[in-house]
Copies of this chain bind each other. A is one copy, B any other.
């Protein structure tokens, strides 16, 4: 049985304020919890309603009732396992390879997809402006599928960090140069903008090269979603 205060403590981790304060985050579902247990992340506690799902003998695993899980969970139909992990300290940024910079990306699904893309394309670091959605938000974690443990994600003053990094800075714009003609160097930063407003003016001033993905359909088509644009641009950078 879990004491009431502990249930409240875990439930509060759905909110960024409490995650930051306690340096802990929550993931749900057998697959993702298992993947994070196999990663470099440090586990705080795992709650299971079914002892067959995870070995109960590990000292961090606790068997709880379905009612207790429901009270802790952020899901409307919780799924057997809830894991709590320590938020890792971000590592120093490594500008010897490509880095993605997110200028106020707000949608959790987009953030999660971009983290997963970086994992696939071997991009080890993401810099996020302070107003970007928190990468330990439960909806972000749902879209990352465990990739969050393999990508170094740093929040901070995007302008200050990029202004002083000394590598080529690219940005995605509707009116940029056609990306297919670009010869990318071995390292660089790719700035991706906010869903509604694109790259901010203050960041635009730092961008050395504006690039764009050509449109082949009718000119009435909406811009590409920021996650799909990132997919295409990362593929262009890596394919050489």
Using CB atoms and an 8 Å cutoff, list the residues of chain A in contact with chain B: 109, 113, 116-123, 143, 145-147, 150, 180, 213-218, 220-222, 224-225, 227-229, 231-232, 235-236, 238-239
**A116 contacts B231, C-beta separation under 8 Å:** no
**A119 contacts B232, C-beta separation under 8 Å:** no
The smallest beta-carbon distance between A145 and chain B, in angstroms, is 4
Chain B: which residue is nearest A217 at the CB level? B122
Asked, given contacts A109-B109, A235-B235, whether A150 binds B218 with beta carbons under 8 Å apart, the answer is yes
Given contacts A117-B228, A120-B222, A121-B217, 17 further A-B contacts (CB under 8 A): A113-B228, A116-B222, A116-B228, A118-B217, A120-B221, A122-B216, A122-B218, A123-B217, A143-B225, A146-B222, A150-B220, A150-B221, A216-B238, A224-B231, A228-B231, A231-B232, A235-B236
The smallest beta-carbon distance between A55 and chain B, in angstroms, is 21
Assembly CA distance A57 to B224 (angstroms):
35
Assembly CA distance A123 to B121 (angstroms):
26
Assembly CA distance A213 to B116 (angstroms):
14
State the 8 A-B residue pairs at the shortest beta-carbon distance, nearest first.
Answer: A122-B217, A122-B216, A228-B231, A145-B222, A119-B221, A232-B235, A231-B231, A121-B216
Assembly CA distance A224 to B238 (angstroms):
15
Residues of B within 8 A of A145 (CB): 222
Chain B: which residue is nearest A109 at the CB level? B109
Chain B: which residue is nearest A216 at the CB level? B122
Residues of B within 8 A of A180 (CB): 239
The smallest beta-carbon distance between A184 and chain B, in angstroms, is 13
**A119 contacts B228, C-beta separation under 8 Å:** no
Residues of B within 8 A of A120 (CB): 213, 215-217, 221-222, 224
Assembly CA distance A145 to B229 (angstroms):
16
Assembly CA distance A229 to B236 (angstroms):
13
Task: Give the interface centre of A109, A116, A222, A235 by most chain B CB atoms within 10 Å.
Answer: A235
Residues of B within 8 A of A214 (CB): 238-239
Assembly CA distance A225 to B117 (angstroms):
9
Assembly CA distance A229 to B166 (angstroms):
32
Interchain CB contact (< 8 A) of A119 among B217, B227, B231, B239: B217
Assembly CA distance A147 to B119 (angstroms):
30
Residues of B within 8 A of A116 (CB): 221-222, 224-225, 228
